[in-house]
């Protein structure tokens, strides 16, 4: 194979964040920028010659050009086989499945997840390892170091590959398979869930749904599985055609951005289940008629009812949640006698726990949940979990949630995001919080007394690796918490997140509006952080 070496100079901003490298498209379009990062990935790997790489993305602007470059770089660097989703498309969980199913060495996923797409918006790239999950910090740290000293990259010299038709090709010993992006994933879902029961319930009119694909990658997956295989009415899946700019929308499945779905679910004659997924198909939002299920509650309800799902009928090994996720799932774990792990934000931290079979289900407040079936969070899997649950329980979503709260109590929860804050101001806010930590225990605000205040640090129980500076936690004696973190996925300035949580055991108080119930904690959070004061904002950019 003819390859060419190009000289390059390092860029100093290629440090992967919570989930790979996310930047504006224009940053990725700088000469050699994408190439430097991809070569740094390959320079951080060993013994991959002749092995298989999975390649695909969420179809956003620049996906097609980037894939052609990566194909030629993977070829030049010595991979033996490339498995690519037709059209260059693969949802993140589908890519994870392919890596595992075909025993690939790893995979490259092109996505900036829920961030907007288009020439002036965001692009992203991440490397997943052989277990199908995001590369661990040890790898991303090495990759960043390599990106700072890179001097050249390699590109094979052949024409662009036709990605629009399924094909098996060979170029000078390199095999390239262009495959249907949905087939293998749909097969996996049918193994996990009771498709027959869901189908019967839909046909009998007991189950109805609307799924907002937000003009992102899950459109083709949801159409095939929900409408074609399970028989949901045509049009149940809407905004189903993936577009390079997501139709100008923000493919983030929350009530702000999935407003069409929200209007349906709070309107006249809503269906039994409403759901949405994000840009790359790994996030999910679950709604019922007149109710939004918080991702933290959804995880807890899944854990409590896992035995109703065929793949988990024999019981689950344990559960895990990211630190800022509410403690609702902890209560289920305690009641069922299951181990429960608290990890830093980032799906990569669940990988070792899943590989070691310490957990079966895991999830995050950031609209992510998943299981040991792949090593990424999985939006459509969560929707199918709920459909299967609803078909078994034959109850409205609202009743399932309320019964859950009656049994375990309610963890009233919300997150306030301040986006695009000046980085220096954001650092000042976090530093100021850090300085107060030692003096906070014992301090009172009305009924709230601080029990502990620390900066979260995680020691992985499998490989003993330590991840520090993972967010500021302030815990109160009644179990309430305020957590402050700087997001690792934003692309402009800094995004500051405040996570607020209060436990309510009393059934009579379960039907409260979260913002009102959390008003005092919201006020304490501002007193401690002075975010509004220092950033000049009067309110959060987004509340979820």
What residues make contact with ligand G16 under the rule CB under 6 A? Answer: 18-19, 113-114, 278, 282-283, 322, 345-347, 364, 366, 368, 487-489, 497
What's the rounded Cα separation, in Å, for the pair 48 and 470?
A: 32
Three-state SS annotation for 66-97? HHHHHHHHHHHHCCCEEEEEEEEECCHHHHHH
Phi/psi at 515 (nearest 5 deg)? -60, -40
Q: Which residues are catalytic?
A: 113
- Given a contact cutoff of 8 angstroms between Cβ atoms, the answer to whether 531 and 539 are in contact is no
Strand partners for 89: 57
CB of 31 to ligand G16, least distance (A): 27
Residue with tokens 């990566």: 70
What's the rounded Cα separation, in Å, for the pair 399 and 140?
A: 44
Residue with tokens 């937000």: 214
Complex with ligand G16: residue 81 or 282, whichever CB lies closer:
282
Cα dist. 519→190, 465, 500, 525 in Å?
44, 38, 10, 10
For the record, the structure tokens of 175 come out as 């095999």
CB of 6 to ligand G16, least distance (A): 30
Strands 481-486 and 410-421: unpaired
What's the rounded Cα separation, in Å, for the pair 425 and 25?
A: 26
Tallying the residues shown for the chain, one arrives at: 544
CB of 264 to ligand G16, least distance (A): 23
Complex with ligand G16: residue 93 or 271, whichever CB lies closer:
93
Range 505-508, long-range pairs (CB < 8 A, 24+ positions): 505/409, 507/405, 507/406
CB of 187 to ligand G16, least distance (A): 24
**Among 305, 291, 349, residue whose Cα is nearest residue 324:** 349
What's the rounded Cα separation, in Å, for the pair 417 and 420?
A: 10
CB of 138 to ligand G16, least distance (A): 17
CB of 445 to ligand G16, least distance (A): 26
For the record, the structure tokens of 329 come out as 């799932």
Complex with ligand G16: residue 25 or 161, whichever CB lies closer:
25
Complex with ligand G16: residue 409 or 490, whichever CB lies closer:
490
Complex with ligand G16: residue 22 or 502, whichever CB lies closer:
22
What's the rounded Cα separation, in Å, for the pair 377 and 457?
A: 22
CB of 116 to ligand G16, least distance (A): 12
For the record, the structure tokens of 378 come out as 């999985």
């Amino acid at each position: 194979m003819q390859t060419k070496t190009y000289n390059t100079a390092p860029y100093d901003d290629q440090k992967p964040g919570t989930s790979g490298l996310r930047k504006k498209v224009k940053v990725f379009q700088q000469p050699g920028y994408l190439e430097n990062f991809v070569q740094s990935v390959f320079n951080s790997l060993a013994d991959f010659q002749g092995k298989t790489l999975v390649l695909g993305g969420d179809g956003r602007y620049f996906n097609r050009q980037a894939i052609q470059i990566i194909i030629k770089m993977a070829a030049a660097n010595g991979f033996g086989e490339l498995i690519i989703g037709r059209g260059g498309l693969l949802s993140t969980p589908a890519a994870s499945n392919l890596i595992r199913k075909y025993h690939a060495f790893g995979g490259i996923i092109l996505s900036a997840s829920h961030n907007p797409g288009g020439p002036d918006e965001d692009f992203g790239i991440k490397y997943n390892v052989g277990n199908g999950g995001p590369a661990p910090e040890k790898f991303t740290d090495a990759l960043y170091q390599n990106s700072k000293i890179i001097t050249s990259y390699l590109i094979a010299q052949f024409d662009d590959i036709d990605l629009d038709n399924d094909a098996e090709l060979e170029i000078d010993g390199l095999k390239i398979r262009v495959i249907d992006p949905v087939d293998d994933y749909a097969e996996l879902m049918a193994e996990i869930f009771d498709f027959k029961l869901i189908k019967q319930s839909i046909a009998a009119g007991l189950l109805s749904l609307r799924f907002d694909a937000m003009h992102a990658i899950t459109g083709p997956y949801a159409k095939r599985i929900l409408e074609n295989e399970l028989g949901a009415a045509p049009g149940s899946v809407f905004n189903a055609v993936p577009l390079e700019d997501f139709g100008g929308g923000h493919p983030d499945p929350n009530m702000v951005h999935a407003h069409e779905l929200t209007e349906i679910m709070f309107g006249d004659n809503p269906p039994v289940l409403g759901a949405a997924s994000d840009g790359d198909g790994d996030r999910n939002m679950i709604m019922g008629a007149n109710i939004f299920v918080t991702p933290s509650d959804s995880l807890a309800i899944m854990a409590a009812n896992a035995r109703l799902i065929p793949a988990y009928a024999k019981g689950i090994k344990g559960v895990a949640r990211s630190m800022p996720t509410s403690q609702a799932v902890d209560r289920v774990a305690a009641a069922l006698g299951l181990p429960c792990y608290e990890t830093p934000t980032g799906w990569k931290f669940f990988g070792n726990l899943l590989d070691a079979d310490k957990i079966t289900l895991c999830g995050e407040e950031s609209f992510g949940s998943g299981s040991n079936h792949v090593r990424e969070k999985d939006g459509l899997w969560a929707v199918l979990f709920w459909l299967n649950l609803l078909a078994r329980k034959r109850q409205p979503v609202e009743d399932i949630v309320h019964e859950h709260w009656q049994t375990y109590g309610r963890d009233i929860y919300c997150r306030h995001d301040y986006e695009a804050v000046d980085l220096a101001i954001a650092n000042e806010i976090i530093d100021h919080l850090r300085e107060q930590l030692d003096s906070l225990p014992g301090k009172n605000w009305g009924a709230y007394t601080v029990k502990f205040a620390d900066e979260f640090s995680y020691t992985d129980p499998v490989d003993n690796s330590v991840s520090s500076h993972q967010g500021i936690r302030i815990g109160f004696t009644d179990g309430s918490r305020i957590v402050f973190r700087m997001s690792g996925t934003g692309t402009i300035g800094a995004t500051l997140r405040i996570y607020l949580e209060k436990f309510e055991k009393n059934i009579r108080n379960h039907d409260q509006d979260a913002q009102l119930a959390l008003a005092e904690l919201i006020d304490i959070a501002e007193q401690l952080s002075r975010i509004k004061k220092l950033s000049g904002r009067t309110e959060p950019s987004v509340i979820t």
